[in-house]
Amino acid sequence: MKYAVLGYNTINIGDDIQSFVASTLVDVSYIVMRDDYEKVYDFSGRRCNLEEPIKLIMNGWFMHNPDWKTGNDQIKFPIHNSLITPVFVSTCLSKDVPNLYSASCLDFYKTFGPVLCRDSATLRKLEAEGVAAEFFGCLTQLLEVESVPVNPAHQKKYSESTIYIDCPKAFRKRRWGQKTFSFQHYSKDLASLNPRERIRRAGDRLSAYRYAKKIYTGRLHAFLPCRAMGLDVEYVGDLNYRVQDLVNVSPQKSRLRERFLERLLVT
């Protein structure tokens, strides 16, 4: 069986960091767009037609839509393609999107369950609807520093630095005279890249972070992979329902990896 990761057309590189980490855990052959599963790319970045069965790792937040609070009519979900078997692991199904809990979606989750949830809000919602589910957390917690690209230019530039990621208040309070850098995870130019280019950029961004002496961030998908790499990172963002279950507890990576591989095999 071949594997696929999610692709995105958002302006948030945190989405692609999740897919990058998934690609370090299994041999990936395809990228399937989260918001339109009919758009498929091979892992070199070329648009293609899916002609063989795949398992799609569903580690992400569902869903993105300009009108996401009232519906997701522009998004093709659930997946109606017999060649795609979804692997619900590290999945966050927004409690604020009613369409994600429609009868057709609930049947979809039940068919391909159990759902290994990224957050307890998703877990509680699914259990209330009779869907087999368990808490898993985020796949980015399984990142190994050896899986991140080595970039000599980044090493030269960012070694012994303090990096601030989407935390402007903390950046303004930085100590002058230190070697500091500020990054943002939202960038409009991401939307113009194909999904493979985005995943490469995510890996390159993590390559910059890996050399820092200290990191402060308000982004979950900066904090979790940096902590997983063994970096000195501090979360200074909002502890909302998608974050609070993950920031305060560091998981046992070996057990989490074992459960992930079990889930892949039984689906």
Q: 3-class DSSP state for residue 17?
A: helix
Per-residue model confidence (pLDDT) at position 66: 54
Band of residue 64 on the pLDDT scale cut at 50, 70, 90 = low
Band of residue 183 on the pLDDT scale cut at 50, 70, 90 = very high
| Nearest to 252, CA basis, from 220, 228, 234, 229 | 228
Q: Residue 72 pLDDT > 70, yes or no?
A: no
In one-letter notation, the amino acid at residue 152 is P
| Nearest to 48, CA basis, from 56, 38, 34, 58 | 38
Express each pLDDT in 195-225 by its tens digit: 999 999 999 999 999 999 999 999 999 999 9
The angle formed by the CA atoms of residues 142, 148 and 153, to the nearest 5 degrees, is: 155
Q: Where do the domains of the chain lie?
A: 2-139+251-266, 142-247
Q: Residue 65 pLDDT > 60, yes or no?
A: no
CA distance 243 to 192: 28
Q: Residue 146 pLDDT > 60, yes or no?
A: yes
Higher pLDDT, 250 or 111: 111
Per-residue model confidence (pLDDT) at position 244: 85
Sheet with 2-7, edge to edge strand ranges: 47-48, 40-42, 28-33, 2-7, 54-57, 84-87
Task: Give the contacts of 65 (CB within 8 A, at least 6 positions apart).
Answer: 35, 71, 72, 74, 75, 97
Per-residue model confidence (pLDDT) at position 165: 98
Per-residue model confidence (pLDDT) at position 242: 78
CB 256 within 8 A of CB 142: yes
Alpha helical stretches, state H, 84-217: 103-111, 120-128, 152-158, 168-172, 195-209
- Strand pairing of 47-48 and 40-42? antiparallel
Q: What are the tokens at 212?
A: 């820092």
Percent of the chain with pLDDT over 70: 95
**Which CB contacts under 8 angstroms, 24+ apart, belong to 182-186?**
183/208, 183/222, 185/12, 185/13, 185/14, 185/219, 185/221, 185/222, 186/11, 186/12, 186/13
Per-residue model confidence (pLDDT) at position 187: 95
Task: Give the contacts of 233 (CB within 8 A, at least 6 positions apart).
Answer: 214, 215, 216, 217, 222, 223, 226, 227
Q: Residue 136 pLDDT > 60, yes or no?
A: yes
Is the preceding omega at residue 114 within 30 degrees of 0, hence cis?
Answer: yes
Per-residue model confidence (pLDDT) at position 127: 97
Per-residue model confidence (pLDDT) at position 266: 79
Tokens 């208040």 sit at which residue?
Answer: 169
What average pLDDT does this structure show over 97-104?
Answer: 88
Handedness of CA 33, 38, 43, 45 (dihedral sign): negative
CA distance 207 to 221: 14
pLDDT averaged over the chain? 93
- Strand pairing of 47-48 and 54-57? unpaired
Task: Give the contacts of 181 (CB within 8 A, at least 6 positions apart).
Answer: 158, 161, 162, 163, 164, 212
Least confident interval from 16-20, 138-142, 168-172: 168-172
Express each pLDDT in 169-181 by its tens digit: 999 988 787 899 9
